[in-house]
């Protein structure tokens, strides 16, 4: 199967390595220096057991037209770049192409608005990693399947089934569900409740969960997500005791820094718009009180505003 992965970042590179064992994979990256670096030196993945795998001879380009139409495009950029990345990918998307995303946050409607809902394979990954150097990535590993996915329009067809079978040839655990929304929202609630709290306090989960005030803030954010989910008709059992669920999810990150804290510390734009910002937009549309998420969105955006001013 021919696959193009847009965004040669942490997840894009890890997935290129995994899919590339079986399939013909091309990375598409906007940053020209990164394309040159990957072409010149390849990339290294530090595997969960500490072994280093080096990949030379990387298929990577900044020109999607060079790639042509593929079977599967994976959008693997930060939430705020989703629309630009999907529009940029259009030369690789033909009648039969499907578009996969395991990005965090509410991004699948953005992708669907560009390519059509019937082409979108939405989902999450339980795998993660972090950058070490521009072409060295630490693959933290998986706390569950590589992919939990579903056809976003809930209408699986032969093409979708074929792509799933091809992906399974990697030997990775790939779970297919009929309705992907609850899966996305279950991960979303953890990211929305924990990431900005870590980002503004500088706390790891160990520190945050030792503080009753921080836990109260996490709970408020999570409860608003649940109200929005209910208003949208989305249900997953953990909604019944959401605070306990998000505390446990956060505890799972141990003393690692969540991505939004890493972003703020490195003065990088955060994913606040497709996480808490998206909850605010959805909540306001549906008449749900989302004040806590609105306040924390303003705080994180204020931090971003100050990046180049100090
Ligand atoms: N890292 C992780 O462990 C996990 C991440 N995720 C999610 O996956 C998504 C990607 O995260 P991650 O891999 O960490 O992010 P990274 O920032 O490491 O990678 C994104 C890459 O895409 C590039 N990019 C930006 N815009 C475009 C574009 N239009 N076309 C091509 N490339 C582009 C970026 O360049 P530049 O840096 O110049 O912007 C960067 O190299 C996020 O939604 C994240 O929340 C989900 C699970 C785990
Ligand atoms: C699951 C978790 C917390 C992993 O670090 C994450 O998604 C993030 O950091 O944004």
Residue ranges covered by each domain of the chain: 2-177, 182-309
Q: Whose atoms come closest to the Cα of 78: which ligand? A: 1
**97-144 tens-digit pLDDT:** 999 999 999 999 999 999 999 999 999 999 999 999 999 999 988 789
Q: How far apart are CA 258 and CA 27, in angstroms?
A: 25
Question: 103: CA distance to ligand 1 center in Å?
Answer: 8
The alpha carbon of 78 and the centre of ligand 1 are apart by a number of angstroms equal to 4
Question: Tens digits of per-residue pLDDT, 204-219?
Answer: 999 999 999 999 999 9
Rounded distance, CA 228 to CA 232, Å?
A: 6
Q: Which of 74, 109, 71 is nearest to 89 (CA)?
A: 74
What is the CATH number that goes with domain 2-177?
3.40.50.720
Say what the pLDDT of residue 141 is.
Answer: 82
**Ligand 2 atom with minimal separation from the 256 CA:** 5
Q: Which of 127, 190, 259 to mutate to test the pocket of ligand 2 (most atoms within 8 A of CB)?
A: 259
Residues in the chain: 310
Residue 258 CB less than 6 A away from ligand 2: yes
Q: Quick check: CB of 188 below 6 Å from ligand 1?
A: no
* CATH code, residues 182-309: 1.10.1040.10
* Confidence grade of residue 67 (pLDDT, cut at 50, 70, 90): very high
Tokens at 21, concatenated: 């064992």
Q: What is the pLDDT, as a whole number, of residue 175? A: 98
Alpha-carbon gap, residue 308 to 310, rounded angstroms: 6
Residue 299 pLDDT class (50, 70, 90 cuts): very high
Confidence tier at 180 by pLDDT (50, 70, 90) = very high
Question: Token pair 């992906």 is at which residue?
Answer: 167
Stretch 161-165: mean pLDDT, rounded?
98
Give every strand in the sheet of 43-46, ordered side by side: 52-55, 43-46, 136-142, 127-133
H/E run at residue 145? none
Torsion-angle region of residue 233: left (phi > 0), alpha (psi -120 to 50) or beta?
A: left
């Amino acid at each position: 199967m021919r696959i193009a992965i847009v965004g040669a970042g942490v997840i894009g590179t890890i997935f290129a390595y995994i899919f590339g064992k079986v399939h013909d994979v091309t990375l598409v990256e906007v940053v020209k220096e990164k394309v040159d670096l990957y072409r010149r030196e390849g990339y290294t993945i530090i595997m969960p057991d500490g072994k280093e795998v080096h990949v030379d001879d990387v298929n990577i380009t900044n020109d999607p037209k060079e790639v042509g139409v593929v079977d599967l495009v994976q959008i693997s950029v930060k939430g705020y770049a989703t629309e630009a990345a999907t529009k940029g990918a259009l030369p690789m998307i033909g009648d039969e192409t499907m578009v996969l995303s395991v990005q965090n946050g509410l991004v699948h409607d953005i992708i669907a608005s560009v390519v059509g809902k019937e082409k979108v394979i939405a989902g999450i990954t339980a795998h993660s990693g972090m950058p070490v150097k521009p072409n060295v990535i630490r693959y933290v590993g998986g706390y569950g399947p590589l992919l939990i996915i579903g056809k976003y329009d809930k209408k699986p067809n032969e093409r979708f089934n074929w792509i799933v079978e091809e992906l399974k040839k990697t030997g990775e655990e790939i779970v297919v569900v009929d309705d992907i929304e609850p899966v996305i929202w279950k991960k979303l609630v953890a990211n929305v409740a924990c990431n900005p709290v870590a980002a503004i306090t500088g706390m790891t989960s160990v520190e945050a969960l030792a503080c009753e005030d921080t836990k109260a803030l996490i709970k408020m954010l999570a409860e608003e997500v649940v109200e929005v989910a209910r208003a949208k008709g989305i249900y997953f059992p953990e909604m019944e005791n959401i605070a306990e669920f998000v505390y446990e999810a956060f505890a799972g990150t141990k003393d690692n820094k969540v991505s939004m804290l890493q972003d703020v510390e490195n003065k990088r734009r955060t994913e606040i718009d497709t996480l808490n910002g998206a909850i605010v937009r959805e909540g306001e549309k549906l008449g749900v009180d989302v004040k806590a998420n609105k306040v924390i969105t303003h705080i994180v955006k204020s931090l971003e505003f100050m990046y180049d001013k100090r």
